[in-house]
């Protein structure tokens, strides 16, 4: 019968499912990659925030340590020596906490190594002050105070380097995560439009077939 010649080609019916599968696979791969990148940047941003907090804690511990160390040099006593030793322990904990958050071979490693290497010098100076006689000479006290001041200046310079290295990092990570979220929203919107287009195409391609069936009937 002539009406049967109007049936669509079988290839046209296979094209839409194949295209739909290709789009689905592409969408899945892109979504996985973007999702992994967003999580990576969010993790980096969280780590940077923890590093900034650890650096602030380290700065506070250094201030306490230097305050008690200078007091120990100016007027040694058992109580002040205990305070210095306690501050040294807390400062070492702060350095270890900061080192644990630092990435190996990062720009934080050099200043952290310098801060850790300064600890024996601080301990030595405070022990020297404790061993001095009660009739200490003014020059000996001044030499120790000057040496401690130099250490203080060097250590604060290292902490400044750490703070400067951390200053811009959270903003970069947060900004990249935000941009990727926008990109993910755009891709999701395009995926919805593509699905609607495929549905429309499937309905449009099925319309001649329905008409052919109706004509046969």
Domain count along the chain? 1
The answer to whether 68 touches 87, Cβ cutoff 8 Å, is: yes
- Predicted confidence at residue 210, as pLDDT, reads 57
Return the closest-CA partner of residue 81 out of 33, 34, 131, 140: 131
In a 3-state reduction of DSSP, which class is residue 133?
coil
- % pLDDT > 70, the chain: 68
Between these two residues, 80 and 3, which has the higher pLDDT value? 80
Distance, CA of 77 to CA of 189 (rounded, Å): 72
- Predicted confidence at residue 72, as pLDDT, reads 84
Average pLDDT over residues 128-134: 64
Give Cα 82 to chain centroid, integer Å: 37
Domain region containing 100: 2-216
- Predicted confidence at residue 101, as pLDDT, reads 83
- Predicted confidence at residue 110, as pLDDT, reads 86
Return the closest-CA partner of residue 115 out of 83, 93, 82: 93
Distance, CA of 88 to CA of 21 (rounded, Å): 64
- Write out pLDDT tens, residues 22-40: 767 777 777 777 777 777 7
Assign 216 a pLDDT band (cuts: 50, 70, 90).
Answer: low
Assign 20 a pLDDT band (cuts: 50, 70, 90).
Answer: low
- Please say if the pLDDT value at position 126 is more than 80: no
- Predicted confidence at residue 201, as pLDDT, reads 67
* Weakest-pLDDT range from 4-18, 36-50, 71-85, 175-189: 4-18
Average pLDDT over residues 158-186: 73
Return the closest-CA partner of residue 90 out of 60, 110, 111, 117: 60
- Predicted confidence at residue 193, as pLDDT, reads 72
Assign 207 a pLDDT band (cuts: 50, 70, 90).
Answer: low
Distance, CA of 112 to CA of 158 (rounded, Å): 7
- Write out pLDDT tens, residues 65-109: 889 888 888 888 888 888 888 888 898 898 888 888 887 667 888
Query: For 118, phi and psi rounded to 5 degrees?
Result: -80, -15
Mean pLDDT, the chain, integer = 75
Which CATH number covers residue 63?
1.20.120.1730
Neighbours of 45 (CB within 10 A): 19
Distance, CA of 199 to CA of 60 (rounded, Å): 63
Judged on CB neighbours under 10 Å (0-12, 13-18, 19+), 128 is: middle
* Weakest-pLDDT range from 98-107, 146-155, 204-213: 204-213
């Amino acid at each position: 019968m002539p009406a049967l010649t109007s049936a669509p080609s079988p290839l046209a019916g296979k094209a839409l499912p194949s295209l739909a599968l290709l789009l689905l696979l592409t969408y899945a791969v892109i979504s996985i990659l973007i999702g992994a990148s967003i999580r990576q940047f969010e993790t980096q941003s969280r780590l940077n925030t923890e590093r900034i907090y650890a650096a602030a804690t380290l700065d506070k511990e250094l201030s306490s340590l230097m305050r008690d160390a200078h007091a120990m040099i100016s007027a040694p006593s058992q109580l002040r020596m205990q305070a210095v030793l306690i501050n040294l322990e807390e400062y070492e904990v702060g350095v270890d906490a900061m080192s644990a958050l630092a990435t190996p071979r990062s720009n934080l490693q050099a200043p952290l190594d310098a801060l850790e290497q300064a600890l024996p010098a601080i301990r030595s100076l405070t022990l020297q002050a404790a061993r001095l006689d009660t009739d200490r000479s003014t020059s000996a006290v001044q030499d120790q105070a000057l040496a401690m001041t130099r250490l203080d200046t060097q250590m604060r310079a290292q902490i400044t380097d750490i703070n400067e290295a951390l200053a811009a990092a959270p903003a970069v990570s947060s900004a990249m995560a935000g941009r990727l979220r926008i990109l993910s929203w755009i891709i999701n919107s395009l995926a919805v439009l593509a699905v609607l287009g495929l549905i429309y195409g499937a309905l449009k391609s099925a319309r001649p077939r329905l008409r052919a069936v109706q004509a046969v009937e």
